[in-house]
Structure 1
């Protein structure tokens, strides 16, 4: 299977996912939106993307996979191939949610990261959270990790694994929570933001920290939380996306809405630092399973397309006003692992 994958950036989890798909026989060619992702892309960059996608999609591909809502218009501009749309979180729950909702109605299949995101769409979806490499993210001795990243062995370290200027992550709130917790801990407390960190070094940061602090205003299921769980790093988080469900049974961890509650939980963890049992909760999020589920979604898009070609302006190969009897408006909690039939 040959997939043309459109994306606004190529984060670490995406690269691992591409490798895992290749193991299943899915060749994913990535086309990235032009412009500088660090400086922020303009409307002109996304307009320039459309003819690039039209030209590339005319080549030998089976389908187009739009990763992140802002790439969806370019995917839907072509009418030859079925379209799978993956929404990552802020593209649906943030300022451009209206665009993602509009495009989701026209895509053949839609993938979301959480139940919260699925509830935002009035159509069938597949909940397939981004996978994590349990080989890359695994517990390691704290002293060795701190030496690797250059952190003090005497302080308590709180990890905020995002750039401080990402508004949705709410770094100012993280600062307030840490400042309040600091007053209750009999040791120096340092807050680290990692907007420019090499993702390959992230396991060292996870193992060097005493807690991960997530103060986001909205999310799907953050990759940083999954990676922290793989490393048994305690998580203190706002109640966004599927974080509460993912942290159920994980100790120590905390999910809450108030600054006071977040600070109290963080102070308790920092006062007596220890690792969590988080790794036990992420076996179902292995990148290999994610790739299998995505492959099943691809196969579904191709199977549906073989019966009826998608008409521009409609969803899932059906003309406006028609309802396929075998496609009820339900939300798919999890796509089943893809298995090839025995020949």
Structure 2
């Protein structure tokens, strides 16, 4: 099976890891990415997307079995070729953010729509397939905290709280994370350091997960956040707002905390730091392993073709 993948971010680790697993099962990919800088704090202009149309139209004639449009903004280009079936994967911000109208307009025309969580399916209000992005359990696994802290250069006499996003992404709500850590800082016996980690090699993220005492996610909206699943795979306790499929992913995981109330988040983070224990999250992460999610995506491809 030959698939043309359209994306706004060809560096997305979860997308590339899924394609790598599918390639082992006989799927070949060519990837086209919208030109320009789409990183947080930057924005592409309409001309970047207009230039993407002819490149998709030309490439789509080269014997592909289907088009996989990753993210709602690539769906119009995928649908414009009118020859091959189109699978649309919605990532979260394309359904909950300002481009929601574009995504919703394209959904009925696509041959199959994939979302990351049951919550996204309910919000979309249409029949679709739920396939969370998978986590690589070989890459993300528990490791000695002391070794990990040496690898990332963090002090061993502080509580380390990981915030794996750039503060520039407003949907991640960094100011709220800062408030929560500041509140906890006066309640525990050691200094609490909030560590923002972004724009680093994805291969190093397991070191940060194993070096931290907790993952803090304060997002206003999410689909199925990869950082939570990666933390689970490393048995890193998670404190998070109740967005996307976070509550589902953390069901039965201890210690962990899910709430939209700041006092609950403060209490939850304080308790986790004082307990000083790792979670049992790895067992929960097996449900969303790369192998499992790649199998489900391959079933979508086969159904569409």
TM-score by length of 2: 0.97
- Does residue 223 of structure 2 align to residue 223 of structure 1? no
Match of 1:90 in 2: 93
Compute the displacement of 1:191 (Å): 0.3
Match of 2:29 in 1: 28
Compute the displacement of 1:122 (Å): 3.4
- Contact residue 53 and residue 75 of structure 1 kept, 8 A: yes
Compute the displacement of 1:164 (Å): 0.6
* Residue number among 246, 250, 254 corresponding to 1:251 in the alignment: 254
Compute the displacement of 1:162 (Å): 0.4
- Does residue 141 of structure 2 align to residue 138 of structure 1? yes
Compute the displacement of 1:279 (Å): 0.2
Distance 1:261 1:44 in 2: 45
Compute the displacement of 1:49 (Å): 0.8
Bigger helix fraction: 2
- Contact residue 24 and residue 292 of structure 1 kept, 8 A: no
Match of 2:299 in 1: 296
* Residue number among 191, 201, 210 corresponding to 1:188 in the alignment: 191
Deviations 1:208-234 (A, max 9, x none): 000000100011110000000000000
SS at match of 1:236: strand
Return 38-47 or 188-197, whichever deviates more: 38-47
SS at match of 1:119: helix
- Does residue 3 of structure 2 align to residue 3 of structure 1? yes
Distance 1:264 1:284 in 2: 28
Distance 1:72 1:100 in 2: 7
Compute the displacement of 1:119 (Å): 1.0
TM-score by length of 1: 0.87
- Contact residue 164 and residue 195 of structure 1 kept, 8 A: no
Return 37-46 or 244-253, whichever deviates more: 37-46
Structure 1 residues not aligned, in runs of 5+ = 303-343
What are the equivalent positions in structure 2 for 1:174-323 lying under 5 Å apart? 174-302=177-305
Distance 2:2 2:271 in 1: 50
Aligned length: 302
SS at match of 2:219: coil
Runs of 4 or more, structure 1, over 4 Å off, are none
Match of 1:117 in 2: 120
Compute the displacement of 1:14 (Å): 1.6
Compute the displacement of 1:89 (Å): 0.6
